[in-house]
Homo-oligomer: A and B are copies of this chain.
Amino acid sequence: MDGLWAAYAAATKDARTQSADSLIRYVRPLIGTAKMGHTFPGATVPFGAVQLSPDTDTIPYAVDGRYNPDVYTYCAGYQYDDPTIVGFSHTHFSGTGHSDLGDFLIMPTAGALQLNPGTAGDPQTGFRSAYSHDNETAGANYYRVKLDDHQITAELTTAMRTGFHRYTFPAEEEAHIILDLMHGIYDYGDKTVWTVARVLNDSTVVGYRQTNGWARTRTVYFAMSFSKPFKSYGSRNFEATPVYRGFWRKFDQNDNFPDIAGKKLRMHFDFDVEADEQIQVKFSLSPVSMTNAVANMEAEIPHWDFDRAKREGQGLWEKELRRIEATLPTEADYVNFYTAMYHAALMPTVYMDVNGQYKGLDYEVHTADGFTNYTSLSLWDTFRAFHPYLNIVNPSRNADIVASMMAHYEQSVLNMLPIWSHYANDNWCMSGYHSVSVVADAIIKGVYQGDPEAALDACVATANQRRYEGIGEYIDKGYIADETNGTSVSNTLEYAYDDWCIAQLAKHLGRHDVYDTFIRRSENWRNLYDASIGFMRPRHADGTFRKAFDVLETHGQGFIEGNTWNYSLYVPHNPAGLMEVMGGKGRLSRYLDSLFTMHLPDKFFAHTEDITREGIIGNYVHGNEPAHHVAYLYNITGEASKTQERVRMILENQYHNGPDGLGGNDDCGQMSAWYLFSSLGFYPVSPGSDVYWLGSPLVESATINLENGKTFTVEAINQSDKNVYVEQVTLNGKPLAGYQLTHSDIVNGGQLVFTMADKPNKKR
C-alpha cells in the first residue's frame, strides 16, 4: 500500500461506525486499477450503460507489427501507476482480459488549443495532463481529479445512459473541451471504422462511432450537451491518406462546420471562462440512434444539477449494496466486501434506450418486450459464481439477463446463445457454451420466468452447433482431438459440464430424451483422463494420448489459460466421479494439497493472459477462473476443514484494499462474486444444480435482503482471523449435516449459523 493510498484509506477509517447510514463509503473503485485487476475508477450506476472514467493511456495492439503486451495492461483504460490522464471516455469494461470500448473521450484544457493527446513522458506536448493521486477521489458514481497541466478540476457522475462532467476552470482564460472521436481502448489494429458528428446548435452535438475490434461491427450513438454555449468549434481529420471530399472546396471543414464524418476525427469546442467558472457537459449514449441518445439525456438528466445526478446515482448504489447488510471483522474487510459488491454490479450493462429500443445481433432495431436488455456478458467467467450470486441477491436482474440471452439467440443466424455478448455482436471469446449454465441455473432456481421449453431448445441448438470450435467432433467422438485445435481438452471438459447443465434443465422440464442425450455427453470428460499420469491430457483423433505433454505448462498443452494441474479438476458436475477415476479420496486429497503448496515457476505461465504471480497460490491459480471451485473439493475427500482453511487463505491472500488489491482480472464481477459467496460461507460449485457447498465464512454476520421480501442471515459465532474452522452449522436452529445447502434453504428465508473454532472439527 503506497502512501497516497494509505491516506485515502485513512479518510474513510471511521466508516464502520457509520455503516448504518452509508454502505457506499466502503466502495473504492480504485481497487484493481493497478497491475492486472483491469477495473476502472470512474463513475457509473449499477449495471449502467455509461462508464465514465479516466483513461491514462490507450495502447495499440501492434507496435512495429509485433504484439504489444501493454495492450492487455490497458483493458480498462486506466493504470494506477501512470502519471497522466488523456481524458474521460464513456464506456469501459470492468476486469476483462481483452481491450475494447473507450468511446468518446472528452478532455477540458486551458490555454492554446492542442488536438493531439501528447505522450505520458511529455504531457505538455498534447492535451493530456499530469495528475496526482493526492488530488483524486473515486467513489460510487463519482470521480474527481485535478488536471495539473491545465489546473482544471474535473468531476464525473452518471445516470444510466448519461455521463455528466463538471469542469472547474481556475482563472479567466481561453478554454477548450476536446471531443476525441478516434480515441478508443484498442485491441487489434486500426479499429475505428467510421465516425459522425453533427453540431445541432451552439451547445448540442450528436453523432456515432463504429468500430471493428474485439466486437466486429459495433456502433455507439451519442448526444452531447454543454451548459454554456461554445463561442466556436472545429474538427480535424487525422487520416493519413487523403480521401475524396467533394465538399472540401465548398466549405471550410475545419472550423465551425457542423456536419462532419470520417475515420479519424477530433473536435474542439472553444470558450472564454472566468476564474472559478464551471462548464458542465452531459453526454448520453444509445445503441440505436442519435435521436434516442437525445431522448435518453432528456429523460435521465433533464437539468444541470450535477450534485443531484451524483446523489441519485449514489442512491441507486446504496440500494444495490444494501441487498446484503454485513458485519465484518475489520475496516479492510468492509472495503473488500462492499467493493466486491460494487464490482459485481458493473457488468453486464444495460443495452437499451429509455424507449426500450436496442440494436440486435441481426443489425435490426428491436424493442425489448417485458424485459431490460443487457450486453457485455463474459460468460466463460461469470457463469461460475456471478450469475448464481445474482440468482440469490438480484434475481429479477438475472431473469432479464437470461431474457437478453434468449433475444440474442433469436437474432443469431448461427442459432446460438451468446458466448460473449458484446454490443450486438458475439466476440466468441473463450471456450465452452456457458450460456446454457446460466439459463439452466436460472430456470432450475425459479428465477427466469420466460418460456423454459424455448430456453431448453436454445440450449440444445447451441450445444449442437457442430461448426463451433470442435462441437461436431465432440458429439461424434466424445472428445475433441488434439489436432483439431489448441484447446481441445479445456473445450471438451467445459462442453461436458455445459451438457450436464442442459441435462439438468431437461430433467427439470421432463424432457427425458434430451436428458438422456446430454447426461451421456456430460461424461465426456472421462475420454480425456489419462489414468497413466493421473491428469487430463490431449488426445489424438486415433485415440492415443499426445506424447509430448507438460503438466505445468499453460501454453500449447490443450488448455486455454491454464495447465492440466488446474484443469484436471474441472468436472464440477461430477466431482465424485472424478475422484473415483483419480483413485479415491486419498489421491484427490493429495492432489489438492500438492496443487496449493507446490511451486509453479514463472516460465510456465509467462505471457499467459490473466495468470500472474499475484494470482497464484502454489500452483493454484485464483487469478483466473477455471479453478475457482477447487478449494471446495476437499469437502468430498472428508477434509472439509481444508476447504475452510484454503477458502479463508484465498480471501486473505487474493483480495486487498489497495489499487493492486485484485490478484487477477476481476473478470466482469466473477472474482468479486467468488469473494462474496466465500465470505458468506458457501459457494455454487456446479451451477445448474440448486446446491451450494459450504466453506468458511469471513463475515461476522450478514443479512441478505431477498427480493421476495424474506431475509436470509448468516452468522459466524466466534468469528476471528484465527477461527477459520467450522465447529458446527445450524440452519434455522437445526444442525446441518454434510457440506451442502440448497437454493430453497436460502430463498425461503432463514438463518445459517456457523460456530467457528481455531481447530478443525474432525467429526464433521
Contact = CB atoms under 8 A, between A and B. Distances in A.
Interface of A: 61, 187-189, 193-194, 196, 198-200, 208, 210, 212-214, 216-217, 241, 243-247, 249-252, 256-259, 261, 289-291, 362-365, 412-414, 419, 426-429, 467-469, 485-486
B467 A251 contact: yes
26 contacts: A61-B244, A187-B244, A188-B244, A189-B241, A189-B244, A194-B210, A194-B212, A198-B362, A198-B413, A200-B413, A212-B243, A212-B261, A214-B246, A216-B245, A217-B261, A246-B427, A246-B428, A247-B428, A250-B419, A250-B428, A250-B469, A251-B467, A251-B469, A252-B467, A259-B412, A289-B365
Contacts of A251: 428, 467-469
Contact of A427 (B247, B257, B419, B428): B247
A455 B173 CA distance: 44
A290 B61 contact: no
Nearest to A212: B243
Contacts of A250: 419, 428, 468-469
Contacts of A252: 467
Contacts of A217: 194, 196, 261
Contacts of A212: 194, 243, 261
Contacts of A467: 251-252, 256-257
B413 A199 contact: yes
B246 A429 contact: yes
Contacts of A414: 258-259
A472 to B, nearest CB: 11
Given A189-B244, A214-B246, A291-B364, 14 more contacts: A61-B244, A194-B210, A194-B212, A194-B217, A216-B261, A250-B428, A250-B468, A251-B467, A251-B468, A251-B469, A258-B413, A258-B414, A259-B414, A290-B362
B188 A243 contact: yes
Given A251-B467, A414-B258, A363 B244 contact: no
Contacts of A188: 243-244
A673 to B, nearest CB: 24
B485 A290 contact: no
A172 B594 CA distance: 67
A13 to B, nearest CB: 44
A297 to B, nearest CB: 16
A56 to B, nearest CB: 23
Nearest to A200: B413
Contacts of A291: 364
A226 to B, nearest CB: 16
Nearest to A248: B428
4 A-B pairs closest in CB distance:
A188-B244, A247-B428, A250-B428, A258-B413
Contacts of A61: 244
A429 B247 CA distance: 7
A365 B289 CA distance: 9
Contacts of A200: 413
Contacts of A194: 193-194, 210, 212, 217
A290 B469 contact: no
B485 A249 contact: yes
B244 A213 contact: yes
